Amino acid sequence: MTAEINNRCIPATEVGVCENLIRIEETDSTVRLWLILISNMSLHAEESAKRSRLQQERLQVMLSFIHQRFTEPISLQEIADTAHVSVSECARSFKKHYDCTPKEYRKNHK
């Protein structure tokens, strides 16, 4: 009696051993995949933290600019330029962190 495993004919006495080896290989592959996933998750978390710090730094630059020039008319473009971001990123940051536009923030903090 023989069985076919991985396209090879194996005597019946060795079938159980081969099946166990295949399970071990599958388990090993699964463990490797999990390790890759966990590694990528930690890299993603580190990148996310870096982005968050950078966003906070840029927001602080924009806030400083607004507070330093609160008596002068300033445009959204000028605020964005101080932090080297686009106008849309400037507006998005204010909306995310202060739930208002830079113009509204300025009006409320005069």
Is-above-0.85 flag for pTM?
no
pLDDT tens profile 22-35:
677 777 778 788 88
Task: Label residue 13 by pLDDT band (50, 70, 90).
Answer: low
- Give me the domains of the chain, ranges plus CATH numbers: 2-108 (1.10.10)
Segment among 26-35, 74-83, 98-107 with least mean pLDDT: 26-35
Q: Which residues, 6 or more positions from 82, have their beta carbon under 8 angstroms from its beta carbon?
A: 61, 62, 64, 65
Block residue for tokens 């686009």: 86
